[in-house]
Chain A
């Protein structure tokens, strides 16, 4: 039988981009087995109603509206770091896209330690691959060469909690260096489905017209959509192996899953020793 978690993880979850919640409007989305109403009231603040419960903490940071989920109903014990690029005129805003995945949201997390899937699934064999876990953060650094996401690729991806990942990426396209920032967030709909909301912003190229810039961002959104499609084809046709046999070339998958497990238990039950010093795998 499928051994599903008994709850949704504790942490900050992105509800959407700030621009999607204008003053005076109420939007409805689904998440956490509930209908969620999101309203921006006249004073500019956002009120969230999750199935009639209005006590969920709300945060606006890095262009996103986020909500804190915690079955124990305690105050947040961290907030995501501010990303300067989200507030800089030198960078575009996030272009956003979303799609549903029919599996438990933990499937997404395995990717952080899963260096072995980049070649077969994304045709992008890694060159260097590093992982680090510290408190509520988990960081992956990677160098690779990808026909889809760019040549001479460097990326640093960091989870802050179980559902908010941001990436700094640089790659060479047509001989020019492109710097980008990725957002990969998700909201669980049920224990066997979730919605990925992802965003892409790029460093503006001097002299580029607004039109070309929009097309360029859309190209990056499309490329990432394509890469996610490759993952989804796997995610929707697999079982969960709780204790996989790993080989010497695999990343620290067991370590990563233990780190993620801290968000699936009460705070008093979080084990110690979840940190992982940065090292290459």
Chain B
């Protein structure tokens, strides 16, 4: 039995970054201290939702937030070695966007690829490159707060 009201929440979505209208450049998404070793966080304040994590090698990596398999948020997952493991089916994604492990599969499907984002860290700040023309990151590109 329930006597709940008729709530109609908006559901999460993976926004199309091409519709953001933002300039290409490095966007500040967090402070270095926000992402300690082997931790992942969700970033909404970017042209699309992303997960940013620090591997056990201390390097930061970033992918689209939602798993390309069944759609769960990778930010709710665990960092394993230098990859991020989805909480739903434990598919593990490397920083280059390749799925590098599925514990219950014999073979990783060729299409198991997600979008990766370039991350840089300097002066205690974490930046992610957004490029409106989908070109590689420019190390000397403009920084945005």
Contacts and interface: CB of A to CB of B under 8 A. Distances in A.
Given A102-B7, A117-B88, A238 B106 contact: no
Given A100-B2, A244-B70, A2 B88 contact: no
Contacts of A206: none
Interface stretch (A5-13, A23-31, A142-150, A207-215): A23-31
Interface residues of B, number: 38
Contact of B7 (A116, A187, A193, A238): A193
Interface in A179-205: 187, 189-193, 195, 197
A192 B8 contact: yes
B133 interface: no
Given A30-B6, A248-B105, A248-B107, A241 B70 contact: yes
Interface string A19-52: 0100000011110011000000000000000000
Tell me whether chain B's interface is mostly helix, strand or loop, or mixed: loop
A247 B110 CA distance: 10
A120 B86 CA distance: 9
Contacts of A28: 3
Nearest to B102: A247
B48 to A, nearest CB: 12
Given A192-B10, A239-B12, A239-B66, A120 B1 contact: no
Interface in A61-96: 96
B69 A192 contact: no
Contacts of B68: 241, 244-245
Taking each of B11, B71, B104, which has the highest tally of chain A beta carbons within 10 Å of its own beta carbon? Answer: B11
A268 interface: no
A192 B9 contact: yes
Contact of B90 (A103, A120, A187): A120
Contact of B69 (A119, A189, A191, A245): A245
A238 B8 contact: no
Tell me whether chain A's interface is mostly helix, strand or loop, or mixed: mixed
B89 interface: yes
A272 interface: no
Interface residues of A, number: 48
Interface string B63-86: 000111111110010000000001
Taking each of B7, B10, B68, B107, which has the highest tally of chain A beta carbons within 10 Å of its own beta carbon? Answer: B7
B136 to A, nearest CB: 25
B2 A102 contact: no
Interface in A140-189: 187, 189
B69 A244 contact: yes
Contacts of A96: 1
Contacts of B108: 247
Taking each of A33, A103, A189, which has the highest tally of chain B beta carbons within 10 Å of its own beta carbon? Answer: A189
A102 B9 contact: yes
Interface string A233-261: 11001111100111111100000000000
A246 B73 contact: no
Interface in B37-71: 66-71
Nearest to A33: B6
Those 6 A-B pairs whose CB atoms lie nearest each other, nearest first: A247-B105, A190-B8, A249-B104, A249-B105, A116-B89, A239-B71
12 contacts: A1-B13, A16-B1, A30-B5, A100-B4, A114-B70, A191-B8, A195-B4, A238-B12, A238-B72, A241-B70, A245-B69, A249-B106
Given A120-B87, A237-B12, 6 more contacts: A100-B2, A103-B11, A121-B87, A193-B8, A233-B76, A238-B67
